[in-house]
Amino acid sequence: MKETTMNNLLNFPNPVNEYAARTVAFMVLVLSIMTLIFNSPWLSAILLYGFLARVLTGPKLSPMGLLSTKIIVPYLIKKEKLVPGPPKRFAQLIGLIFSTAIFVSIAIYQINVLANTLLIILSIFAFLESILGFCAGCLVFKYLMKFKLIPDSICESCNNFQTT
């Protein structure tokens, strides 16, 4: 029973509601800009935690993910567009790498130029996802599958969806 509960916790949803992903991206955009403005190690830690939680569990342990999937999308947006989960998880992994570098730059080494540059890049990609619906990580995932660097078994459903 305990193992099943842990496996359920660590499963990333597949498929994912595109509107929930875009809502989370908007929250990441706002948090990234706030982190940039205030140069805050605490805000960078929240950013890092969010990406780590979403990579490991999808929205289950992510405050942004939970707010998006449980409140904003069902009660305010009220739309559903299902897309494959693995490309979205890959995009979250890229965000985790960026947010780790941002946190280390701000909180440990105080390299503000590096942190600010990474925050601007992260903000641009969060803007593209949230406002324009373009997921750069999903596009990279698509090409990694095309070049057989990610096996088809990772995302069999990706062949049935247009990944953007």
Tokens of 100: 């780790």
pTM as predicted: 0.92
Average pLDDT, the chain: 93
Burial class (CB in 10 A: 0-12, 13-18, 19+), 143: exposed
The residue segments making up the domain with residue 23 are 2-160
Burial class (CB in 10 A: 0-12, 13-18, 19+), 17: buried
Alpha carbon distance, N-terminus to C-terminus of the chain: 38
State the pLDDT confidence band at 7, using cuts at 50, 70 and 90.
low
The count of domains in the chain is 1
Can you tell me the mean pLDDT for 92-104?
98
Percent of the chain, pLDDT > 70? 91
